[in-house]
Structure 1
Amino acid sequence: MHELSLHILDLLQNAAEAGANRVDLTVTADTRQHLLTICVEDNGKGISEEILEKVSDPFTTTRTSRKVGLGLALLKAAAESCGGSLKISSRVNVGTKVTASFRLDHIDLPPLGDIAGTVMVFMTGRCGMIFSYRHCRDDREYVFSSLGYERLWEHPEFLIKFKETIEAGLKSLA
C-alpha cells in the first residue's frame, strides 16, 4: 500500500467486521524519538490465541470468502521495512489492539496519506459506532470523538463537516 492511511482503513474495517461498536485510532509522531506509531483498538469479538499466533501470516484469515488475508501481513512488512514493528494483542469477547511502529527518519516510510478522508469513508453509515481519533505530534494533540454524534453518520452534510473538522485539527499540528 502506498499510504499508511490505507493500512489504517484496513485495520478499521477489521474492527468493524469483528463486530466492534467502539473503535479508537491513535496516531503519534514523536520527532525526538523519530518514531511514528499507529494504534487501532476495538471492543470486537477478539482473536483466539491459536489464530493470534499466526494472524500476520498472509495465508491466515478468518474470512470464508477467500483463503488469504494480506492486510496485517502487508502492514507488518511495511513497519519492519521502516525499522519498526507490528504488535497485536487480543482477548476473545473483549477486543483487539493493533500497534504498528515506523522510524520517522527512514527513507522508505510511506506518507501518512489522507487520514481525514480515510476516517470519513470508514464512518459513513456506521450509526451507533463510537469512534475516537487522537493524533499527537510531540507535545501537541488533536482529539475527535463521535460520542453524541452516533446517529449522524448517514448524513452527507455531517460527513463533509466531519472531514473538514479533522483536516483543520491536523493542520493545527503541522
Structure 2
Amino acid sequence: MTVFRDLSQHILDIYENGVKAGATLIAVEIEEDLLQDLLTITLRDNGAGMDAQMLQRIADPWVTTRTTRKVGLGIPFLKQTAEMCGGNFAMHSQPGQGTTLAATFQHSHIDRPPLGDLTATITCLIVGYPQVDLYYRHRLLNLTAQSAEEFVFDTREMRAILEDAAPLSDPDVLGFIRNTLEAGIPRAKHLIIY
C-alpha cells in the first residue's frame, strides 16, 4: 500500500499521472502564504486531459486508468489530506487540454504533512522523465517582512543554455540543478504560526 509521508511524495505521484497522460510540460507551483496561513500546491499539465465523467469519478480510490492495479489512491489521499488540514481540493480538465489540480492546506495545521525534500523530488522528476519539461515555481509570503520570496526553475531554460552539450541527466548538470534548487527554494520551516 502507498504511504505518503510528506507532500513531495504527493507531488511525485500526481506528476507521474501527468506523464502517463502524455504531458510534455508539467508545472509544479507551491505557494506558502503565511499571512493567510495557507499552503497551495498546484500541478498543471498539457497531457490528454479527462472528460467530465472521469473528472467526477477521479477522487474515488476504486477508479483508475491503470491496468496493473484496480485502485488509484494518489488523488483520493491528497484530497483527503487537504480537507483534513482545513483546506480544499479542486481539479479541472478537458480532453486534449490537460489537467490542473490544486490542493490547499491550512499552513499551520497540526496534521499537515511537511513539504518534504523538494530538491530531491524535483531532481528525481527531471532524471526519471527526461522527455517531459518541468516548470517549478515556489513562492513564500512572509509574516514579518510582508514580502514575497519567489524561486522559478524551468528545464526549458536549462536545455536552451546547454543546447546539445550535455543532457540534464549528466552528473555535472544534475549537481548544478541540485545546488540551484537547494539554494533557491524558499524555506518556511523555521517559522511557527500560533
TM range (shorter): over 0.9
**Of the candidates 119, 122, 126, which is equivalent to residue 116 of structure 1?**
119
Deviates more, 1:125-134 or 1:83-92: 125-134
2:97 aligned partner: 94
Instruction: State the identity as a percent.
Output: 39
CA 171–34 in structure 1, closer or farther in 2 if over 3 Å, else same: closer
CA 109–14 in structure 1, closer or farther in 2 if over 3 Å, else same: same
Shift of 1:109: 0.9
Please, what is the CA RMSD of the aligned residues?
1.6
Q: TM-score, normalised by structure 2?
A: 0.85
In structure 2, how many angstroms separate the alpha carbons of the residues matched to 1:89 and 1:126?
Answer: 23
Matches within 5 A, 1:25-174: 25-138=28-141, 139-150=148-159, 152-171=167-186
AA of the residue aligned to 1:149: M
In structure 2, how many angstroms separate the alpha carbons of the residues matched to 1:41 and 1:88?
Answer: 10
2:192 aligned partner: none
CA 73–10 in structure 1, closer or farther in 2 if over 3 Å, else same: same
In structure 2, how many angstroms separate the alpha carbons of the residues matched to 1:125 and 1:70?
Answer: 21
1:18 aligned partner: 21
In structure 2, how many angstroms separate the alpha carbons of the residues matched to 1:107 and 1:39?
Answer: 21
CA 173–34 in structure 1, closer or farther in 2 if over 3 Å, else same: closer
In structure 2, how many angstroms separate the alpha carbons of the residues matched to 1:173 and 1:112?
Answer: 10
The alignment covers a number of residue pairs equal to 174
Alpha carbons 1:25, 1:38 under 8 Å: kept: yes
CA 172–64 in structure 1, closer or farther in 2 if over 3 Å, else same: closer
Alpha carbons 2:140, 2:186 under 8 Å: kept: no
Alpha carbons 2:87, 2:104 under 8 Å: kept: yes
